[in-house]
Structure 1
Amino acid sequence: MIHIEDILGSNFIDKIFLMPTVLGIMFIAKYMFQYYQLDQNKITAYILNSSNFALFIILLKFLFSDIDQGSPYGYLISDISLVFIAISVVYLVTPLYKNIEYEILPQFIIYYLLYLHVYGFHLRSTLLVLSGLTLFWLVIYALCNYRKVITAHYISYFFLSVFITLAAVLVAISQFHVPISYTIGIFFKILAVLVIAKVAIYLISIIALMYSDLKRDAYIDILTGTYNRKKFEDVLNEVLFSKKVPSFSIALFDIDAFKSINDNYGHLAGDYVLREISTDIRELLMQEHSNGQLFRYGGDEFFIVFRNQTGEEAYRMMTQITKNISDKEFAYNDIPFNVSISVGVAEITDEKNPKTIIDKVDKNLYVAKANGKNQVYYV
């Protein structure tokens, strides 16, 4: 008679709860590689990510063995199915990039060398182990190259479970007799973890989408549809301390005689002007691929942050924007009128104080207005 413990194995739940913890450590390490830009070189990135993967597997295997002391299948082969499924989950959730499937290969080589050290060389066992590892790598290859198709259907998880089970059994039978209960247990363990992973990924994606929507709403100016002051402050702090943005330029502009527009044509006309200018500038920034990001700071004041752009480049872009606005004929309630803007531009290289930066570009805007408006000032 087969019991549930025979199918899932002892301490299955304990091992399942260990996986997210160890996975979290692995992803923190990957984030640190990216944050400190240690993965810019392809060879260095491969070595770091492969080593990170190896440490992840070793730690997981050590914890599994500590939970299941005295396993009849030996240290190298016991829980091989859970190690396989943990690796599969990594490839299900990690962001994909070119050749990511090859990062696991050094671990396979290390595993086989340890296998030879423990069990010695026998042609039959070598063929079985290498067949199991090859089959599992083909599963990883499929996950990396066809993940969107695979994750779209639950039936795909069934077939994944079959192939991973077969890979684990091939490794196990290289040294041990594997009863039917063990094979069934491997399959159901793998299927259970894959289904849990799919549900978890789905729930996380919903939460992430809701958070993204809330964050977007908190960062969007309702009137103009562009980013607001809060977003500007966050972005400014981000670029000031980003290793990927060694320098940037910033523009501050406001609408010339905006109060007169409100007084002469009404506040709805003023709203119309703000929306039109915001839309036109966003479209032009995208067309010119200028790395410019528009923010409404308040009233008729707007900032544009140009990542990795010199002051001269930002000046030329703002000169074009200023000309486009002054050449455009605005009309509200069939009443035509002209609009112009004044702009201050500053290039930021070493300054790290947001207030100092805003004061600097604000002074340049003041000079543009003092010089007659409808122009850009940059020194």
Structure 2
Amino acid sequence: MAINRILFSFILALLTNGIVAVGAMSFFYWINNNSNNQFVIAHRRVLTLVISFAYLSYLFLESLNNTYFDHSQFGYHWTFLNMIILALYFLIMQEVRLSQVLLETVLVAAYYVLFTTQFTVLGVSACLCTIALMFCAYRNARRILRRRVLNYGMLAALGAAATTMVYQMGNYGGLDAWFWARQIGGLAIVGIVMLEYSYAMGDVIKHAERVKEQATIDGLTGLLNYSSFTNDLMQHFAAYKQGDIGEYSVFEVDLDLFKRINDTYDHLTGNEVLRAIADELTGWAAETTEGATAYRLGGEEFALIVDAEISTQRARAIAKDFQRRLARLRFGDIDADIRLTCSIGQARVLPDDYTHHDVYKAADKNLYMSKRSGRNLISLAPDAD
């Protein structure tokens, strides 16, 4: 009967451990990969450290309760010790930050020093070994995560050291085989669940990043697409209104008479021309001292967001530089006589703009003015009074 009750208690504890471990891991993954909540983004490092401390403190307190106060009915059972070992390891591998491993070192050392009933050579050695293994995991996290054998091996080593440390903290007498079967079996089962769930979450995150990249990158040119442009305009405008950033400008670029290239040659040639223009635009953005980001809005239309306050004179110099870049482009393998020109419209964000689209609308209006006036022209926002 006693064995059945112990087995029932073990199974319930095992299920609880698995649920709590997966839930905690999911929560930390959410914090570290959240890209929508501005509070989380702004305070991610502090949040992970504070929540890590709270979670580990809770587990250490429950472990103390398990070890010292709640073993009268079923004998010694270190349910929460397994949770501590898994949490220590997961948080190190998830955060890979010195502050995280230092926090865990303080908690492990305090737990041992404050609650041990006896200091033994083996106990002190096991404590130091536990800490050393945590630092080893931190220093080699990337390499360990790439190889399952190393990952499982490091967790097993940490589990052995931590379990030995806790065993040496008290005078438990002769602990029976059932105890060690429950302890080692529980750690192995929940450890496998944790590591495999971690790998599965890693695959999910990588897939989500690929989907996000495909949704934000133009497949033909590799530039950020219109969706990214709109999102960045929204973020710029919100930061501008809050006073976090200063004035910024938008350049809209349209290739002149691009339809002739497609009609004269073919669309594959047109795609090659668009890729060449994108390369020039990328170089243009990278060399702009004010800081800029390039986008393809669709078709032969491109854009640039310049993150600085620039005068009309400077805006003209930037626009002319890109026109010169296009004029130098040659396509000898297609037709050496191909010459490219573009029309450009520029606008700057204004204090009385109502939405993030207003600056884009103004740049688009100036672009239309350039094209209507004869193409290969530049129309700019006037200097502010």
The TM tier, using the shorter chain, reads 0.7 to 0.9
- Structure 1 residue 267, shift from structure 2 partner: 5.2
Q: Where do residues 113-132 of structure 1 align in structure 2 (5 Å cutoff)?
A: 115=115, 124-125=118-119, 131-132=125-126
Q: Mind listing any 5+ residue stretches in structure 1 that lack a counterpart? A: 40-44
Match of 1:101 in 2: 101
Q: SS of 1:338's equivalent?
A: coil
Q: What one-letter code is carried by the residue in structure 2 that aligns with 1:171? A: V
For 1:167, the equivalent position in structure 2 comes to 162
How far did residue 65 of structure 1 move? Answer: 8.5
Residue 252 (structure 2) aligns with: 252
Distance 1:291 1:364 in 2: 22
Q: Distance in 1 between matches of 2:350 and 2:62?
A: 49
Give the Cα separation in 1 of the matches to 2:132 and 2:70.
31
Please tell me whether the aligned partners of residues 77 and 172 of structure 1 are also in contact (alpha carbons under 8 angstroms).
no
- Report how far residue 335 of structure 1 moved: 4.7
In structure 1, what is the Cα distance between the partners aligned to 2:217 and 2:48? 37
* Aligned pair partner of 1:137 in 131, 137, 157: 131
CA distance in 2, matches of 1:50, 1:344: 47
Q: CA deviation at 1:180?
A: 5.4
Matched residue count = 365
- The reply on whether 1:232 has 2:233 as its aligned counterpart is no
- How many percent of aligned residue pairs carry the same amino acid? 17
Q: 1:112 to 1:317 in 2, by over 3 A?
A: farther
Aligned to 2:20: 18
Q: What does the per-residue CA deviation read over 1:241-287, in whole Å, with 9 as the maximum and x for residues that have no partner?
A: 46997354322111123344455556555444322211332244456
Code of the aligned partner of 1:136: T
Alignment CA distance shift 1:315-1:245 (3 Å) = farther
The worse-fitting range, judged by mean Cα deviation, of 287-296 and 249-258 is: 287-296
Question: RMSD value over aligned CA atoms?
Answer: 4.3
Match of 2:380 in 1: 377
| Secondary structure, aligned partner of 2:337 | strand
1:368·1:377 contact (CA, 8 Å) conserved in 2?
no
Q: Residue 151 of structure 1 corresponds to which residue in structure 2?
A: 145
For residues 89 and 171 of structure 1, the distance between their equivalents in structure 2, rounded to whole angstroms, comes to 20
TM-score (norm 1): 0.76
CA–CA distance in structure 1, aligned partners of residues 52 and 245 of structure 2: 31
Q: Does the 8 Å contact 2:315/2:380 carry over to 1?
A: no
The aligned counterpart of 1:179 is 175
Q: Which residue number corresponds to residue 356 of structure 1?
A: 358
- Matched letter for residue 274 of structure 2: L
Establish whether residue 86 from structure 1 lines up as the match of residue 87 from structure 2.
yes
* Structure 1 match to 2:111: 111
Contact 1:228-1:297 within 8 A present in 2 as well:
yes
Cα deviation, 1:57-92, whole Å, max 9, x if unaligned, reads 234456788999933599997622321222211222
CA 377–20 in structure 1, closer or farther in 2 if over 3 Å, else same = same
1: CA distance, partners of 2:317 / 2:40: 32
Shift of 1:355: 2.1
| Paired residues of 2:221 and 2:275 also in contact (CA < 8 A) | yes
CA distance in 1, matches of 2:171, 2:315: 70
Q: Note closer, same or farther for the CA distance 1:84–1:140 as it changes in structure 2 (3 Å cut).
A: same
Within a 5 Å distance, the mapping from 1:259-338 to structure 2 comes to: 259-262=259-262, 269-286=269-286, 291-306=291-306, 308-311=307-310, 317-331=318-332, 333-338=334-339
Give unmatched runs, 5+ long, in structure 2.
Answer: none
Q: Is the 8 A contact 2:369 2:379 kept in 1?
A: no
Label 1:79 to 1:333 Cα distance change in 2 as closer, same or farther (>3 A).
closer
Distance 1:328 1:189, change over 3 A: same
